[in-house]
Structure 1
Amino acid sequence: MKAPKPPKSLEELISRANDIAGLSIVELAGRYSLNVPKDLTKNKGWVGQMLEYVLGATASSKPVPDFELLGVELKTIPISKLGKPLETTFITSTPLLNISGAKWEDSVVKKKLRNVLWVPILSCKSIPFPNRIIGTGFLWELDKELEKTLKNDWEEQMELIALGMVEKITANLGTALQIRPKAASSSSVTNAIGKHGKVIQTNPKGYYLKKEITQKILDDQFRL
């Protein structure tokens, strides 16, 4: 089966999401002759990439929502049988240089989270990776209350980066948004602002949405 063209409307996007709900990863991959890895050890983002392909996302690695024409980001949530998120949700990479004058309103985090198509994936350890089930996707819009919290977290952490204190940022910071290392291995390094404005080497970082937030999003949608 050929890769779908980008959806032209929200209705078309959600229709595509509904069409794949209930399928296992291997069943969906089979529709498009995609090879399924045995596990995610070296293929962390594979499920999201497959869904981007199947649903017609266009952004690839660009700092814009996955469905550019619709302004919608695609995010998967691995969940337990009880509907509990199993991990935090990666949003985008964290800029560590040239951040003077950066504003929340222009941030990639806000652009990515303004409108999201969430797709839960039943991902219990007892279920082999290829047999994990794709749940019912749903559209979600960032509300003012959560945006205020995210903005506060983002500004606090960006200030630390600007002050050369990136090494002091831990996953405990932030009510909704956290910054954590984002790299294939701990040996990966990139440039960042250090003390007195000098450039230092540190692990690449990423913004993540905490599990408490995605839990609330799921609860609000499915009334768990």
Structure 2
Amino acid sequence: MLNDNRIRIITGHYGSGKTEFSVNYAVNLAKEKEKVALADLDVVNPYFRSREKAKDLEKLGIKVISSSIKGIAADVPAVSAEIFAPLQDKSYETILDVGGDPVGARALGRYHNYFKDGEYDMFFVINANRRETQTVDKTIEYLRKIEQASRAKVTALVNNTHLLKSTTKEEVLKGQELVEKVSEKTGIPIKYVVALENVAKELPKHIKGEIFPIKLYMREEWML
């Protein structure tokens, strides 16, 4: 697990759980690597951003990069120039949490010179319960719009079909069916199948993609 290219771009529709996946990915990666950077490139959606957990992540040795203006309440559509450091410094394992629509993905386009074939991965996170990714054709259409806006190609799919804390094994497998069809139609492989730790234990071992157990870092205990 996590044996991916040094630069990992994570994108997907709003509500797909891409930021939760990004944070869990960074936490797990920090257990294996000394220098991990998580850059929050979501300049559109002001909710559930990875920067909200910056203090907790930095305690784990993860460098968090977000808005160019410090302050948790500052919803500024700009990204700090600090992001160039982990992109240029190959000693860093870098994760880019990108905005969840083509408009947000444009923020990634300015860094496209760093995204050379074989040097980056771009994971498209799919939650089959989201309106824009409920069918194979709509999912592929959305994926292509993200690619066009970001000027980068999706290299792998991530099944993150969920209903938050109410997610069941059956829900994940329902999403897996859709993701497998998207994979077959596009030729893009499935890399991870994401599920809460208790649900991940119930998933079949032969499932396409690596099972990726997660915790809900982005949702407080009182949230559904």
TM-score by length of structure 1 reads: 0.29
Structure of greater Rg = 1
